[in-house]
Amino acid sequence: MTGVQPLINSVVRQPFDICIVGAGIMGLALARHLSAHWPKASVLVLEQNAGTGQETSSRNSEVIHAGLYYPPGSLKARLCVRGNALLYDYCARHDIPHQRIGKLIVAQPGEEAALDQLQTSAQACGVESLTPMSHQDMTRLEPHLQASAALWSPDTGIIDSHALMHRLQHEAELNGALVATNSRLLRADCQGPGIFDVDVEATGEEAPFRLRSRMLINCAGLSANQVAASIGGIDQSLIPALHLVKGHYFALSGRSPFRHLIYPVPDSRHRGLGIHATLDMAGQCRFGPDIEPVSSVDYRVDESRRATFAEAIRTYYPALDETRLQTAYAGIRPRLGSAYADFMIQDEYVHGCPGLIQLFGIESPGLTASLALAELVTLKLQDQAPL
């Protein structure tokens, strides 16, 4: 067996019931959920890279968000709150490294009102656990922290996102799903309700090959709009403009000054959450992400950003030794507008093509929301249930 085409032809009957484009956290969560929900369905995941989860899903803060920042009633708010609960439960059941370490959102003099607004908005989203913390308690908890006021979010945590994706893929494969790496969707055609012809270019194959699927799910992250543009038979004017917004990270060498996550109040221009301090599962502290609109995907981290990072970090950590900041990595958000633009899920009621689901703008809190998003997409496909 030399390539993906013979593998696909020999292992699974065609047509496929479900073809998922993209094996980031979303594609893998969907493959796991759909293959468990419809055990008889044949599920194929196409991933253009040599491995799964190599793009945005492995270039983020690895924070399990509590759902504090999003407009009440938005998909981001609802799926984050639901996803938070599902994710903690899933991690506990499958031994995925994670810690519910909690986070402090801290205000500097003059910013205190923003914390009140945040708490009110979080309550409207169903997050009741957010509480103001006294200055004394804050200093006891984090002696190196400088702030005039703080909110405590006990339900925010950290996760090993690679272990999570590995487990989701493993479960999907145990359920019979086929994850084909080195396999890029070139184009697809909606031939009629529940009939998609998909052209795939696979490494090692001399020519692209065609497969057929009854459902097609576009969760191609940064390329979701390109994939959408390559689907014939649907109204192309529905494809939203997607802006690439890069976020860089710097790691702090040596011992972390903090034991919890530290976030400044969100950027008032709705651009992001501000350069915050997170911890990875090994306890290393890292700062980021910042905000840089870009026109292409380039993950390099420029040393020259150190001074800007240091200035932002010193607002809440004045003792920072700038020489300990080391360039770490960068991720790119597929943004539909401001940071608070909602996730976009297009189903047949939007584009009129039964069996097609397109996900756009799955930026933060996409990791946290992934299991809840998979539930929702499954619900939207209910009418297409395989026999």
Ligand X SMILES: Cc1cc2nc3c(=O)[nH]c(=O)nc-3n(C[C@H](O)[C@H](O)[C@H](O)COP(=O)(O)OP(=O)(O)OC[C@H]3O[C@@H](n4cnc5c(N)ncnc54)[C@H](O)[C@@H]3O)c2cc1C
Residues in contact with ligand X by the rule CB under 6 A: 21-27, 46-49, 54-57, 60-63, 65, 184-185, 219-223, 227, 247, 289, 331-333, 362-368
Residues 6 or more apart in contact with residue 282 via CB below 8 angstroms = none
Q: How far is the CB of 344 from ligand X (least distance, A)?
A: 12
Min dist CB 17 to ligand X, Å, is 18
Burial of residue 118 (CB within 10 Å: 0-12, 13-18, 19+) is buried
In the bound complex, what is the minimum distance in angstroms from residue 50's beta carbon to ligand X?
10
Nearer to ligand X, 149 or 223 (CB): 223
How do strand 63-64 and strand 243-252 relate by DSSP bridges? unpaired
Written as one letter, the residue type at 373 is: L
**Tokens 């890069």 belong to which residue?**
246
Q: Are 154 and 132 in contact (CB under 8 A)?
A: no
CB of 221 to ligand X, least distance (A): 2
Query: Strands 183-192 and 231-232: what pairing?
Result: parallel
Q: How far is the CB of 254 from ligand X (least distance, A)?
A: 23
Strands (DSSP E) found in 317-355? 325-335, 344-346
Phi, psi of 383 (to 5 degrees): -65, -20
Q: Which is nearer to ligand X, 119 or 156 (CB)?
A: 156
Question: CB-wise, 214 or 276, nearer to ligand X?
Answer: 276
Q: How far is the CB of 387 from ligand X (least distance, A)?
A: 27
The DSSP 8-state label assigned to residue 265 in this structure reads P
Q: Are 272 and 312 in contact (CB under 8 A)?
A: no
Query: Closest distance between ligand X and the C-beta of residue 134, in Å?
Result: 27
The one-letter code for the residue type at 285 is C
Pick between residue 149 and residue 336 the one whose CB is nearest to ligand X: 336
Q: Which is nearer to ligand X, 142 or 363 (CB)?
A: 363
Render the burial of 198-233: b for 16+ CB within 10 Å, e for the rest.
bbbbbeebeeebebebbbbbbbbbbbbbebbebbeb
Which residue, 27 or 264, is less far from ligand X as judged by CB?
A: 27
Residue with smallest beta-carbon separation from ligand X: 366
- Could you tell me the smallest distance in angstroms from the CB atom of residue 57 to ligand X? 3
Looking at the Cβ atoms of 113 and 299, the one nearer to ligand X is: 299
Give the single-character DSSP code of 73.
T
Q: Residue 149 or 370: which CB sits closer to ligand X?
A: 370
Return the number of the residue (208 or 386) whose C-beta is nearest ligand X.
208
**Amino acid at position 7, single letter:** L
Tell me the residue type at 324: R
**What whole-number distance in Å separates Cα of residue 200 and Cα of residue 175?**
23
> Contact at 8 Å (CB) between 287 and 266?
no
- Least spacing, CB of residue 132 vs ligand X, in Å: 24
- Using the Cα atoms of residue 83, residue 89, residue 91 and residue 94 in order, give the sign of their dihedral: negative
